[in-house]
Structure 1
Amino acid sequence: MTVFSNQIDRAAAWSRDRPLLTHAFGSIALAVVCVLLLVVGDVGFVTGSEVSRWVFLAPIALATLASLHRVRAPGAAFALSLGAVALDLLLGGSSAVILYVVDGFYSASCYGGLRLRRIANALAVVGMLLSAVGLSLPDGDVRGMVFGALQGIAIFGTPVWWGANVRQRNEIAALGEQRLELERARTRDAQRIAELQRDDAVRSERAHMASELHDVVASRLSAIAIGSAAALGIPDADSATDPERARKLTAQRREVLETVRESSVSALDDMRSLITVLRAGDVGPHDAAAIDVSLDGIRSLDRAASGIHLDLELPDPEAYARLGEPLRQAVARIAGEIVANAVKHAHGCRLELRLDLGTNLRLTGRSTRGEASEHSVPSAGIGIRVMRERAEAFGGTLVAGPDGDGWVVDVTIPGVVEEETT
């Protein structure tokens, strides 16, 4: 039984997928059955006259034509079916006339619009009444009326009910298909959203890693490049005729080389810390390579300020210590980038670096006009963008630009100090 049901379901699915082909087969089957009834059935029973059976091929052709067009033009198909019934009765009547009626009313009820279905229902009621009254008139017998009513229901009522039932099933199936398509579309949209979110996460992570690599590598290596170039530019002590000058040249070169070594060691430590963070996974938006975020760490920038004069104005250590670790890390990174940019682009300038913890956190770096260093290194020009991103991560802003003969970088993070210290 289960195998038989599966076969029926497959056949139904096959027919639903090929509606035009299915209707063509149905129309051909209707024509074949009508011809068989014409051959074996009675003809001329309405008028009682002798007529040729083959003249009834005309109403059969009309009924077949109506069946072929019942899906595309149900109204015209219903009219052709009624025309086939009328022509068959005018010719004297044949046994196939019942099939014209059944197919016409079924087509109108299954494929027609609301107005056509109402017309078909009304005509079916009229047909059932005429059938009941017509069979009861000759003898006035109640049994004839009942038999006529049952016959009318079978001929007119059954195709209307059957067509309505098939139409409802088709509508339910169409709604199911629409719902399934909506679910598929929703699934595709969810997949697209997930892909976009993954892409955004990857881009965000790449931007975060780029910022860290810029802070960890670029600034340190720039200081190393500038310091090593400066050391190469210092004359050899052997070339000095004055012992005092030779001693000063030696001390100057040693100082520069010590700065280079310190920058190299710091760069290595920063790289190890960054690699450790990346290997650990789950890097948060404020995770970074470990650096000294205390005020002492900011003061240590003076050692990296090779070739410039750095003036620091820092807040009370206790107030600064109450800031969150991510915020202090951002402040230390921005301060280091300000100093590194001054070293690279304004050799010999005076840089005033001030950190104020008033109502808002404000970090200002103001430098005087410097000179282009002969030991300058290429710059990618992303330092200001990285500093701005760090400030915006805490809801702050960064303004950078010329200030008279110098340059100013002004970072403001509103409300963070008050929030962190309460």
Structure 2
Amino acid sequence: MRLRDLRSALPRPRELPPWQQNGLVALAVFAGGTMLYLAGSHRLLPNGDPVPLWIRFAELGAMCLAAFLRRKVPWGLLAATGIVGVDVALGLSLPIVIAYTDFLYSAMLHGSRRTTRVLVGVTAAGTLAVLFAFLAAAGWRAAALGAFSMLSFLLVPVWWGANVRQQSDIAASERANADQLATIAALDRRAAVTAERARMARDLHDVVAGHLSAIAIQSEAALSMADDPKTAQTVLVAVRENSVRALEEMRAMIGLLRSESAEHEVTAPARLAELARLVESARAAGMTVTVDSTVDEELAVPTAVDLTAYRIAQESLTNAVKHAPGGRVSVRLRAADSTLTVEIGNELLGAPTQSGSGGHGLLSMRERAHAVGGTLRAGPSGPRWLVQAELPLAGEPS
């Protein structure tokens, strides 16, 4: 097996469980300390070491056992500090000091915020105390040597642990922000899909259900007019117009769905200017329709409002033909105070069967009105069923 393959097969130390990482640290401390003790390079102070070597190894073994508590702050640090205190009493040795620096680093990395602040303060105070002690006892040269020692064995691991922890906290915060942004993006996508599905459902209902309902009613009327060929022909002409109209709008919707760019949307060619077609279709089904409009043809009606008004009129006339066949229907259009008002009322023949809160048609009309910032009311009004929509002629929907 190649060395590169062996490296890829072995887990990285950071990927190991905490207790295994602690075991590796303990093994490294024992191996390094053993070499220093056997080489006689462990003594930090001048002169020889009067302490037997087995006591030094006992200290080293205790420090290695304490390494398994290095993440248990502050208990691991307190245990290591006690061992260092014993080592200072016997004569400071390099392996113990080096091992202690790892405890300082771990305390800064894994301890609580309060523990790290206390540790920084204690380290700074201890460093100053040692410096003044060296300065008072042996002069500035000993103080300089003591400062270098404190910097290497106390301040550096504390600073390093604080810096690593800060970077880890920043990375964790960035990951949390990224997760939140991903969640928000997923919710936005879900909302966009839901809104698009609702829009498609409205369009399919208006295009398919509206025209097919009219075709079904008109064809039934044509079948009952076998003795009146002229009227039957008029009804069949209306059936054909509804069929052609449904095909045109379906093609427009398919073109919109297949379009890759939203900048060139192909919208259904339905506008209030073509209200006459809806009226003629209802009349062909046997309805008596009157139209009262004060809307100027040159009035600038926003495209979305224009289409919404048309769809509301289409659905209302379809419902009137379905629920009050042969009855009277009135269509009123008003434009005043930057508001377009659409009213469609029909006679209630027998018990009212239309509901002001249910049905896909009424729901579709309300959704369309709300989408452009308008309102819609539908329900019995005296002897009639009245649908009234108020749509803004200017401004964006709220």
Q: What TM-score does the superposition give when structure 1 sets the normalisation length?
A: 0.70
Aligned to 1:375: none
Match of 1:302 among 266, 279, 284: 279
For structure 1, the 5+ residue unaligned runs are 1-12, 90-96, 134-144, 238-248, 373-379
Q: CA RMSD in A?
A: 4.0
Match of 2:242 among 249, 260, 263: 263
What is the CA–CA distance in structure 2 between the aligned matches of 1:369 and 1:342, rounded to whole Å? 9
| 2:292 is the counterpart of 1:313 | yes
Matched residue SS, 1:370: coil
Aligned to 1:410: 388
Aligned to 2:316: 338
For structure 2, the 5+ residue unaligned runs are 1-10, 108-118, 352-357
CA positional deviation for 1:62? 5.1
Q: Do the aligned residues in 1 keep the contact of 2:42 with 2:94 (CA within 8 Å)?
A: no
CA positional deviation for 1:332? 1.9
Mapping for residues 147-186 of structure 1, pairs under 5 Å: 149=142, 153=145, 157-186=148-177
Q: Do the aligned residues in 2 keep the contact of 1:286 with 1:326 (CA within 8 Å)?
A: no
When residues 397 and 74 of structure 1 are mapped into structure 2, their CA distance, relative to the original with a 3 A threshold, is same
What is the CA–CA distance in structure 2 between the aligned matches of 1:168 and 1:77, rounded to whole Å? 19
Match of 1:82 among 62, 85, 97: 85
CA positional deviation for 1:395? 1.2
Aligned to 1:350: 328
Matched residue SS, 1:317: coil
Q: Do the aligned residues in 1 keep the contact of 2:366 with 2:375 (CA within 8 Å)?
A: yes
| 2:97 is the counterpart of 1:102 | yes
Q: Do the aligned residues in 2 keep the contact of 1:274 with 1:288 (CA within 8 Å)?
A: yes
Identity among equivalent pairs (%):
29
Aligned to 2:22: 20
Q: Which amino acid aligns with 1:300?
A: R
CA positional deviation for 1:101? 6.7
CA positional deviation for 1:343? 0.5
Q: Do the aligned residues in 2 keep the contact of 1:81 with 1:104 (CA within 8 Å)?
A: no
Q: Which amino acid aligns with 2:79?
A: A
CA positional deviation for 1:333? 2.0
Q: Do the aligned residues in 1 keep the contact of 2:42 with 2:93 (CA within 8 Å)?
A: no
When residues 369 and 54 of structure 1 are mapped into structure 2, their CA distance, relative to the original with a 3 A threshold, is closer
Matched residue SS, 2:93: helix
When residues 101 and 209 of structure 1 are mapped into structure 2, their CA distance, relative to the original with a 3 A threshold, is closer
Q: Do the aligned residues in 1 keep the contact of 2:101 with 2:157 (CA within 8 Å)?
A: no
Aligned to 2:207: 216
Aligned to 1:29: 31
What is the CA–CA distance in structure 1 between the aligned matches of 2:249 and 2:58, rounded to whole Å? 97
CA positional deviation for 1:361? 1.5
Matched residue SS, 1:356: strand
Q: How many residues align?
A: 357
CA positional deviation for 1:280? 3.9
Q: Which amino acid aligns with 1:153?
A: L
| 2:301 is the counterpart of 1:323 | yes
When residues 15 and 126 of structure 1 are mapped into structure 2, their CA distance, relative to the original with a 3 A threshold, is farther
Q: Do the aligned residues in 2 keep the contact of 1:85 with 1:100 (CA within 8 Å)?
A: no
Aligned to 2:229: 250
Q: What TM-score does the superposition give when structure 2 sets the normalisation length?
A: 0.74
Matched residue SS, 1:322: coil
Mapping for residues 191-206 of structure 1, pairs under 5 Å: 191-206=182-197
Q: Which amino acid aligns with 1:28?
A: F
Matched residue SS, 1:323: coil
Match of 1:384 among 362, 379, 395: 362
When residues 253 and 15 of structure 1 are mapped into structure 2, their CA distance, relative to the original with a 3 A threshold, is closer
What is the CA–CA distance in structure 1 between the aligned matches of 2:257 and 2:96, rounded to whole Å? 80
1:254-312 Cα deviation digits (max 9, x unpaired): 33323222222222233233334444444589963113531xx2233222111322111
1:362-418 Cα deviation digits (max 9, x unpaired): 11111111269xxxxxxx92111222222222211001112223311111124x26x
Matched residue SS, 2:389: strand
When residues 309 and 28 of structure 1 are mapped into structure 2, their CA distance, relative to the original with a 3 A threshold, is same
Q: Do the aligned residues in 1 keep the contact of 2:29 with 2:95 (CA within 8 Å)?
A: no
What is the CA–CA distance in structure 2 between the aligned matches of 1:177 and 1:47, rounded to whole Å? 42
Aligned to 2:349: 370
**Which moved further from structure 2: 281-290 or 182-191?**
281-290
> Which has more radius of gyration?
1
Matched residue SS, 1:124: helix
1:178-233 Cα deviation digits (max 9, x unpaired): 32333333333333333333333333222222222222221111011112223334
Matched residue SS, 1:329: helix
What is the CA–CA distance in structure 2 between the aligned matches of 1:222 and 1:79, rounded to whole Å? 91
Matched residue SS, 2:343: strand
When residues 233 and 284 of structure 1 are mapped into structure 2, their CA distance, relative to the original with a 3 A threshold, is farther
CA positional deviation for 1:81? 1.6
